[in-house]
Amino acid sequence: MDLQHWLGRATHEIQNWADTYGAYDTHPSLLVDEDRFATAFGELTGRLKNNYPFFHPRYAGQMLKPPHPAAVVGYLTTMLINPNNHALDGGPATAAMEREAVARLAAMFGYDTHLGHLTTSGTIANLEALFVARELHPDRGIAYSADAHYTHGRMCRVLGLEGHPVPTDNRGRINLDALEELLRTGRIGTVVLTAGTTGLGAIDPVHLALPLARKYGARVHVDAAYGGFFTLLAGADGPEGLPPEPWRAIARCDSIVIDPHKHGLQPYGCGAVLFRDPEVGRFYLHDSPYTYFTSTDLHLGEISLECSRAGAAAAALWLTFQLLPPTPDGLGQVLAAGRRAALRWADLITASSRLELYQQPELDVVTYFPTVEPATLTAVNAASARVLTDGMTVPDPVFLSTLRADREAFGTRHPKVTADADGARILRSVLMKPESEHHVDDIHARVEALTG
């Protein structure tokens, strides 16, 4: 895709449409001098160079990557009009696109009915799911694993709900015995299960936790903000295929959050929440004297906590799905490449005498640490920190991230490392760009060299 060509086409098409309304003069208060603009623009592009190269295969750190060119063109084209998806009065075309894109997400998870919408982020999407959880069970709390995203605990405080962290097992998944013990107290109204934890990519056993929750009358919300699109690899042939059971069980859970701005090739500002029962829309009912006037159809703002939202985000996702739909043959191929890259790197680390795998990657997150002698948490921590910093500052750089593992979590995986501290930082690489598949050997060699 020739981005320059399509961005030129975008300004042209939108200008043609604007011209049908007749010419008018821009107000003098808005006019800016070309030379002054050029100076300011130069300063902007200069300052933007203070960034990590998220687009490059040598960036193997956090969950960051640029959007697909289709999403960029979809977003920027639509932004020239700047519709607001709060109401059909603010953006009829993009509201329709949002509903179509959301329906595709619901179908991807196997929901046969749904009510859902895009949000600004996964955090807001989860807030909405917990808000509905509170409305349905006002007197009961929320259970989530100790490895769940930190915002669940925070949003419980926002909503005035009791949050209950549940211990994890030796692969970072919610401990079912501990969960059942908690459910037995009758204090839990909703269980949050994570399909792909942010730190390790661990997948809570949704198929086993769901019947447990039901037995005790609790609802189930699945936080698949990061991992959701990996459902496209459930039961797939080849090394990238994932055990299907937890993914298939999501279809029977009450709500789901997924972030198209993580694995859906979108720019930031695109999360989504889906409810299986459309009746929960009643909790959002509100009167607004200044919106909702051109249509009696459902406005997206009538089913979301946020008011203004970028119609451009919906257009970007819609356009991307026309080309790379959320199917195994479409977007699934993008995720498969990252997953194969993670597996390949895990093999290289396992065979290496300089690095050790923290745990086998569950999705596309690889966690590892330098081999140290004597093997203590303090030494692991220092060596990881050094590789991280040196990696970014040496010529021929490689960009990684770190994850803090506490003493217990580390000990269950690596009992031979002496626990002389509360925990240790280890190295973490999210291989979410499909190009990683062709560069893991190179990245591995760089990281190995950094341990020397």
Ligand X SMILES: *Cc1c(COP(=O)(O)O)cnc(C)c1O
Chain residues binding ligand X by CB under 6 A are 121-123, 126, 149, 151, 194, 198, 223, 225-226, 259, 271
| CB nearer to ligand X: pick between 126 and 384 | 126
Specify the residue, 259 or 356, whose C-beta has the smaller distance to ligand X: 259
Other beta carbons within 10 Å of 340: 19
From the list 286, 206, 208, the residue with the least C-alpha distance to 254 is 206
| Angstrom distance (rounded) from CA 399 to CA 62 | 9
Q: Which distant-in-sequence residues (6+ apart) come within 8 Å of 219 by Cβ?
A: 133, 136, 137, 189, 190, 191, 213, 254, 255
Torsion of the alpha carbons at 247, 250, 255 and 256, rounded to the nearest 10:
10
Residue at 262: amino acid letter: K
Closest approach of Cβ 198 to ligand X, in Å? Answer: 4
Q: Nearest approach, Cβ of 283 to ligand X (angstroms)? A: 21
Least gap, CB of 125 to ligand X (angstroms): 7
Which has the closest alpha carbon to 324: 311, 312, 337? Answer: 337
Decide: 381 and 389 in contact? Cβ < 8 Å: no
**Whose CB is nearest to ligand X?**
122
CB closer to ligand X, 149 vs 173: 149
Choice between 120 and 381, CB closer to ligand X: 120
CB of residue 262 to ligand X, shortest distance in Å: 6
Q: Which is nearer to ligand X, 88 or 148 (CB)?
A: 148
Identity of the residue, 121 or 436, whose beta carbon is nearer to ligand X in the bound complex:
121
Q: Three-state DSSP class for 333?
A: helix
Tell me the closest approach of the beta carbon of residue 149 to ligand X, in angstroms: 3
| In the complex, least distance from residue 226 CB atom to ligand X, rounded to whole angstroms | 3
Q: Is the peptide bond before 374 cis (omega within 30 degrees of 0)?
A: yes
User: Which is nearer to ligand X, 77 or 197 (by Cβ)?
Assistant: 197
Long-range Cβ pairs for the range 354-360 (8 Å, 24+): 354/448, 354/451, 354/452, 355/447, 355/448, 355/451, 356/414, 358/405, 358/413, 358/414, 358/426, 359/171, 359/172, 359/200, 359/413
Q: How far is the CB of 440 from ligand X (least distance, A)?
A: 22
* Chain centroid offset of residue 113 CA: 23
